[in-house]
Structure 1
Amino acid sequence: MTILTEPIGSIPRPSTLLNALTEHAEGRLSDADLKKLQDEATADTLARLAELGCPVLVDGEQAKPSFVTYPLAGLTSLAGDGAVIPFADGHTRQLPRLTAGPFRYRVRAETYLRDALRHTSQPVKQAVIAPSALSLLYPADGIDGYSRENFLEDLADEAEADIRGCLDAGAHVVQLDFTEARLSLKLDPSGSLLDDFVALNNQVLDRFAEEERARLGVHTCPGGDQDSTHSLDVDYAELLPKLFRLRVGNFYVQLASEADPDRVLAVIADQLRPGIRVFVGVTDPIDPRVETPEEVRDRVLAAARHIPVDQLGTTDDCGFSPFADDASTSRDTAFAKIAARVKGTALAAEALGLQ
């Protein structure tokens, strides 16, 4: 037995790809040329992760416009004035607003996965956006001829197809990104919005068999964009009991950036049930300082005092660049932090007598 370790998803894009995205947006680069550069960045990401000894790889989301909006690329029934997500440093991200139904994904995550699998024979994890996040596309004043109930039915069908396509394509694990969970408690401290999010996600998850849900996971963090967060000030203890109601086999929980990780670990320990694994964050993508393997080891050993090692894993707190234009963390720094996670996890396993 050893301690499993996995990345979350996004890796900063190389400068050549960032420049290409700008040129493409300005009409100076063709779709085919952009796709070629994205494919090269994906291949490089997979190769570098493999060189670091990562047992599970990701494509780094090199071809996604963002972790949340990838299904919408090319969708015409959208306006730009959707929900606004404020971050602690004052910057914002704005979601689009749906203007007409029926709602359909234009891009499915399995397309990214199939592209990645062409470049490696190692296990590849695929991140997908949770349906709860896309539920925010529907406007508060409704859409004529397309009720919210109809929208949520369509959304559940599309989310199921997105997940199932990845499982069928050979994903090692499919991870639902649920970063809006902690934010929901800031928007609605009563917890009602979070309850709605969990119920919607479980409505989709319940469509999968138990053995399929063992290959599903959910990621939570306080957001991570341009070295800032949107909900780190929300008490984790209010979120975690509801988060662990989600019917998945794996939970990826941001922890390295928490002020009191032992308190959070105690809450997690209270929520453990047989058959699940908790991957705790041991590197902080927002902190520019690269953790040492020994720091990671100590964080893992602290987690092992609360979580049985056969239910414990390690991960990064968040993706390193969830939006394509986020260059606040360098590509080399991201890989250095991942290397520290892999080495530190191995050191912890050795200290625990697992190797």
Structure 2
Amino acid sequence: MIPSEPIGSIPRSPELLSAMAAFESGEMSSSAFADVQRRAVAETVDSLVAAGSPVVTDGEQAKPTSLTYPIAGLDNLDRDGVVIPYADGHQRRLPRLTSGPLRYKTNAVQYLQAAQRHTKAPVKQAVVAPSTLSLLYPPQAIAGYSREQFLDDLVAEAETEVRGCLDAGAHVVQLDFTEGRLSLKLDPSGGVLRDFVALNNRLLERFTEDERARIGIHTDAGADQDSTHSLDIDYADLLPALFETKVGNYYLQLASEPDPERVLRLIADQLRPGVRVFVGVTDPLDPRVETAEEVRDRVLQAARHLPLDQLGTCDDSGFAPYADDQSTSRSTAFAKIRARIDGTAQAAQQLGAA
């Protein structure tokens, strides 16, 4: 078969969204909130299995955001960090580190193990890339805590998280690298992008080749409230640097690209032996649900450029990387997932790969 995997987040249920608001306002206890989160994870895993997903995730139901979950609740952060602007005018803001050392408060292995309790299916775990969290350090140095000390701590924390997930039996650990394309908008010279890739490789070099075969990296143009932050940046400027990342799997947004044929040619030019590229065949930002036949045709298009043994499919992005994003319903998300799985299977059958 041609493997097909979700990226990560699934829209939160109305019950979970209500519980989040009640917990934040002090109207719900932490134990009651944890019970709601456990139910949301179980329902999400069950729904993915029912949709025929060969690989499942926890849907990031318990994450506040896919970017900042490891540091949520730390007392050495301020709110006035880097701003992420989206094309529709809304913004997200990262926190700013005010003192050292950096230590993760939450490790993604807990999300992995929570999902594993509800299924025997392979479970994938998404984690934030160290390049993303490197943006926490302010332009002005922190007294007594240099940027290099910060990066050493960051890589060490990320290694502990990734290794913990691998040791706990994750099918694959996916580094979320949504800021890759955005970096080219902030710095068209590509210097920031090269720094990001180098930092991620500092982490990946701590793992063996066999371990890196179970690690992947995901990139997209941003996905939040049906908007993107860098779809106008040419993929050609990102892909050469991205493919220098020392992972075994690449998850690439493609369904929302205006010229997917051109991007596939670019991917083929960068492809090296021994890696697999999962191409996006559904667009979580498009409210219309793709048909299985549309997905099939997108897979067949990709197969004209990429070897079958190096091809997989995915969604372009997670469906709700920020917990408060209600722009896509759970029913729409699972309908798109079913279309991805069914369309991939149809293409595999037509290609003789099933």
Confirm or deny a common fold (TM above 0.5): yes
1:302 is aligned to 2:310: no
Alignment of 1:133-212 (within 5 A): 133-212=132-211
User: Deviation at 1:34?
Assistant: 0.9
SS in 1 for 2:127: strand
Specify the alignment match of 1:348 in structure 2.
347
Which whole-Å deviations, capped at 9, do the CAs of 1:87-141 have from their partners, x for residues lacking one? 0000000000000001000000001111111111110000000000000000001
Q: Distance in 2 between matches of 1:342 and 1:231?
A: 27
Whole-angstrom CA distance in 1 between matches of 2:58 and 2:233:
31
Give the counterpart letter for 1:39 in structure 2.
Answer: R
Q: For residue 247 of structure 1, what is the aligned residue in structure 2? A: 246
Instruction: Confirm or deny that 1:49 pairs with 2:87.
Output: no
CA distance in 2 between counterparts of 1:168 and 1:288 reads 38
Aligned to 1:61: 60
| 1:320 to partner: Cα distance | 0.1
Whole-angstrom CA distance in 2 between matches of 1:20 and 1:52: 26
Identity between Structure 1 and Structure 2 (%) = 67
TM-score scaled to structure 2, two decimals? 1.00
Give the 3-state SS of the residue equivalent to 2:325 in structure 1: coil
Does residue 326 of the first structure (1) align with residue 325 of the second (2)?
yes
Post-superposition, which runs of at least 4 consecutive aligned residues in structure 1 deviate over 2 A?
A: none
After superposition, the C-alpha distances for 1:184-213 in whole angstroms (9 at most, x for unaligned) are 000000000000000000000000000000
* Matched position secondary structure for 1:150: helix
Q: Corresponding residue for 2:271?
A: 272
* Aligned residue number for residue 82 of structure 1: 81
Residue equivalent to 1:237: 236
How many residues are matched?
A: 354
Separation of aligned partners in 1, 2:64 and 2:51 = 26
Which residue of structure 2 aligns with residue 221 of structure 1? 220
Deviation at 1:52, TM superposition (A): 1.0
Whichever residue aligns with residue 169 of structure 1, its letter is A
Secondary structure, in 3 states, of the residue corresponding to 2:175? strand
**Structure 1: distance between partners of 2:345 and 2:21:** 40
Instruction: Supply the distance in 2 between the matched residues of 1:43 and 1:280 (Cα, whole angstroms).
Output: 27
Aligned residue number for residue 338 of structure 1: 337
Q: Distance in 1 between matches of 2:214 and 2:24?
A: 36
Aligned-partner Cα distance in 1 for 2:124–2:139 = 35
The one-character-per-residue Cα deviations of 1:315-348 (angstroms, maximum 9, x if unpaired) are 0000000000000000000000000000000000
CA distance in 2, matches of 1:150, 1:129: 19
State the one-letter code of the partner of 2:55: V
In 2, Cα distance between the equivalents of 1:108 and 1:354? 38
**Structure 2: distance between partners of 1:73 and 1:151:** 17
Q: Aligned letter for 1:287?
A: D
Distance 1:99 1:265 in 2: 43
Write the deviation string for residues 144-202 of structure 1: whole angstroms up to 9, x where unpaired. 11000100000010011110010011100000000000000000000000000000000
> Which SS does the other structure have where 1:314 is aligned?
strand
Cα deviations by residue, 1:270-323 (Å, 9 ceiling, x for unpaired): 111111000000000000000000000000000000000100000000000000
Offset, 1:73: 2.0
Amino acid at match of 1:97: R
Residue 175 of structure 1 aligns to a residue whose secondary structure is strand
Consecutive unaligned residues in structure 1, runs of 5 or more: none
CA distance in 2, matches of 1:116, 1:292: 28
Superposition TM-score, scaled by structure 1 size: 0.99
Matches of 1:114 and 1:155, distance apart in 2:
23
Q: What does 1:91-102 correspond to in 2, within 5 Å?
A: 91-102=90-101
Distance in structure 1 (CA, Å) of the matches to 2:164 and 2:92? 28
- Equivalent position SS for 1:18: helix
- Matched residue SS, 1:116: helix
Secondary structure of the 1:265 match is helix
User: AA paired with 1:281?
Assistant: G
> Alpha-carbon deviations, 1:45-83, whole Å to 9, x = none?
100110111100011000000001110122100000000
Letter in 1 for 2:58: D
Distance 2:304 2:159 in 1: 36
1:210-265 CA deviation, whole Å, 9 max, x = no partner?
00000000000000000000000000000011100000000000000000000000
Residue 120 of structure 1 corresponds to 119
1:36: which partner in 2? 35
Partners of 1:250 and 1:197 in 2: CA distance: 18
